[in-house]
Structure 1
Amino acid sequence: MAEIQLRNISKRWGSFVGVNDFNLSIDDKEFLVLLGPSGCGKTTTMRMIAGLEDATEGDILINGARVNDLEPKNRDVAMVFQSYALYPNMNVYENIRFPLRVRGIDPALHKERVMQAAERVELLDFLDRKPAALSGGQRQRVALARAIVRKPKVFLMDEPLSNLDAKLRVSTRAQIKNLSHDLAATTIYVTHDQIEAMTLADRVVVMKSGVVQQVGSPTEIYDTPANTFVASFIGSPAMNLIDGELMNGKFSAPNVEITGLIGRNGKVTLGFRAEDASVVEQCSEMNAPIYTLELLGDATMVSVRIGGQLVAVKADKTFRSDIGDQVSIHIPADHCHLFDAETGLRIQK
């Protein structure tokens, strides 16, 4: 069992603030993803939990006990790094076994524990190989097995898939998800890849410049982003955002007019997802020439320029047209999001 609480955690180096007043409770067995661009503070947060960085302010509790002053080895956490961090002179078996030796686990238990961990990540046929003889995906699986073999309370994973190619990322991501379910351990996972976050997480913490922007399930983050940063960071493609004015329920911008909206009058940013709009023969909501067309296989992505911004809409895979052709785009009012033009915060309906 491992419940983690972060209370008013901050990390500063001189005048630079890496993490600012971070508060969160992480449930036992929860898979939590820290998501954000480079430099947002997500890895620093994880390193403070691990004990690799000291918190400037605040308390870190594991199962109710404050661990700020404990050495990393005494926090019962296992960390998987982006760089694998394997010992090149040891074979796979010894790499996986190493944490057991360091922690003084009874040697009689080593072989059984190593074999169990290797079997979980499908490495039984590679135990005699050195890391140099392994592919990137196999090396990452060794790093996972080395974390598993300890049976820690908490798994910390720092962008473990970043060095893998696209196909390996998909298969290894599925393996991590399955392992998390089988091991029933609390997992904190750091990534800048929103697809990883959406597919792996029970909850996602979106960060920017050391500040938490939103915490919620992948569905909540996707369907009701708290601000324009979250809206523009989550989704592939990201949510379309158009600056304009709302007056008596009607949103107006160049080549855009949408009625039936609920919100206060004034300057706003309107958002909608590509899959929530459609290309139609004629409508008054949005009319513009096609900027580009992309065939995705299951759909055709149609992009137009509105007020200097690209707006993407998913059309049927059979849709055919040419760049420069005028198109009409239907945007249902009940699929629109409104944000404050100055603060970027979501306007509640």
Structure 2
Amino acid sequence: MASISLKNVQKRWGKTVGVKDFNLEIADQEFLVLLGPSGCGKTTTMRMIAGLEDITQGEVMIGDRVVNNLEPKDRDIAMVFQSYGLYPTMTVYDNIRFPLKIRGEDKAAAHERVMRAAAMVELEPFLDRKPAALSGGQRQRVALARAIVREPTVFLMDEPLSNLDAKLRVSTRAQIKNLQHELKTTTIYVTHDQIEAMTMADRIVVMSQGEIQQVGTPEEVYNHPNNTFVAAFIGSPAMNLTDGTLEGGVFTNSHIRLPGLPAVIEGPVTLGYRAEDANLVEQGGHLNGPIFSTELLGDATMVTCKVGDQLLSVKTDKDFRAPIGQPMSASLDLATCHLFDATTGERLTGR
């Protein structure tokens, strides 16, 4: 097993910067998720760890070895991609066994490892099939088994669930998380899906434009976002953000007045709150406006109202019903509100 260290890692293509000053320590057996929008540098970072992308500057260590100049095959890693990369003419069994065949592993020992890997991802009934006879979820499990059978020190997974439907994504992410717990293998998982990150990660690295925005547990990045980018990217729905002025601990804009906040600054700020931290009231709340839409989520109802020119969300009881256009009022719990610098977007205060 192995820890991973990235020190001042950069990737540039001429004047274009893909990853900038990336510093991170990944613990042995940790499940780390690189999260961010397309083009943020998360896949490039993982490819540099894998050796599939040259490092412009900096150092990557796996265990106690600097691996900058090592070939991918010499880094003792296994990768699972968005595309399954299966050999169409081979059976499931042969696809899983292929890495061991290339290594020249003993046939009996290889068979035992193939069967063990197939059992872990529940593929035993499908070992004689070709990939064309499998569903998308089954093909992804073959790709997982092929990575598992190598018994690497590090798993690298690049958006492995993107091609699956919603129901399969839920079951497969649970399977991956459980597998990682059983195998106790250091895992780096790349995704743009914040729900995957929140449900699977030990720690999340939120990235934007090639830079780390925040590193923390799912609870930390959700409850204590470093800036407005993280606040808006993490959560479903995203944190409500509205600009205004803070004077003497009173936040105001043309549609909201919210007294009793910490007087951390005088002047322009951005107020943030989560939909579940607001409550619908009969009247006299902090937010007032007509209902723009309602969405039944099953265990709750998401109510979006139009406050001035902004759409702001409130999560309420699953039995809530009201027509679009009906006036709505909502109160905020001051203890759960966040304040961000209006210019830099950096966090000023919050729970």
TM tier relative to shorter chain: over 0.9
Alignment-derived partner of residue 36 in structure 1? 36
Distance 2:51 2:105 in 1: 22
Alignment-derived partner of residue 223 in structure 1? 223
Distance 1:6 1:150 in 2: 24
Amino acid at match of 1:251: F
Alignment-derived partner of residue 270 in structure 1? 271
CA deviation profile, 1:155-214 (whole Å, cap 9, x unmatched):
000000000000000010110011000000000000000000000000000000101000
Amino acid at match of 2:52: L
Amino acid at match of 2:233: F
Q: What's the CA shift for 1:105?
A: 2.3
Amino acid at match of 1:220: E
The worse-fitting range, judged by mean Cα deviation, of 303-312 and 118-127 is: 303-312
Q: Secondary structure at the residue paired with 1:347? A: strand
CA deviation profile, 1:270-293 (whole Å, cap 9, x unmatched):
000000001001224111111111
1:333 pairs with 2:329: no
Q: What's the CA shift for 1:104?
A: 2.6
1:146 pairs with 2:146: yes
Q: What's the CA shift for 1:327?
A: 1.2
Q: What's the CA shift for 1:297?
A: 2.0
Q: What's the CA shift for 1:306?
A: 2.6
Listed as ranges, the matches of 1:1-349 within 5 Å are 1-262=1-262, 263-348=264-349
Number of positions where the alignment pairs a residue of Structure 1 with one of Structure 2: 349
Contact 1:29/1:185 (<8 A) preserved: yes
Q: What's the CA shift for 1:307?
A: 3.8
CA deviation profile, 1:35-77 (whole Å, cap 9, x unmatched):
0000100000000000000110000001121000000000000
Distance 1:331 1:210 in 2: 35
Contact 1:44/1:53 (<8 A) preserved: yes
Distance 2:46 2:252 in 1: 44
Contact 2:290/2:307 (<8 A) preserved: no
Distance 2:102 2:247 in 1: 67
Amino acid at match of 1:201: A
Distance 2:318 2:123 in 1: 41
Distance 2:204 2:102 in 1: 33
Distance 1:157 1:243 in 2: 38
Task: Let me know the Cα RMSD of the aligned residues.
Answer: 0.9
Contact 1:288/1:327 (<8 A) preserved: yes
Contact 1:254/1:306 (<8 A) preserved: no
The worse-fitting range, judged by mean Cα deviation, of 106-115 and 25-34 is: 106-115
Distance 2:201 2:296 in 1: 29
Q: Secondary structure at the residue paired with 1:225? A: coil
Contact 1:33/1:197 (<8 A) preserved: yes
Amino acid at match of 2:325: G
Contact 2:191/2:197 (<8 A) preserved: yes
Amino acid at match of 2:193: D
Q: Normalising by structure 2, what TM-score?
A: 0.98
Distance 1:209 1:39 in 2: 7
Amino acid at match of 1:18: G
Contact 1:246/1:268 (<8 A) preserved: yes
Q: What's the CA shift for 1:316?
A: 1.3
Contact 2:100/2:110 (<8 A) preserved: yes
Distance 1:107 1:127 in 2: 16
Contact 2:289/2:308 (<8 A) preserved: no
The worse-fitting range, judged by mean Cα deviation, of 306-315 and 80-89 is: 306-315
The percent of aligned pairs where both chains have the same amino acid is 68
Query: Any unmatched runs of 5+ in structure 2?
Result: none
Q: What's the CA shift for 1:125?
A: 0.6
Q: Secondary structure at the residue paired with 1:2? A: coil
Distance 2:227 2:259 in 1: 22
Distance 2:314 2:285 in 1: 16
Distance 1:134 1:346 in 2: 48
Q: What's the CA shift for 1:253?
A: 1.5
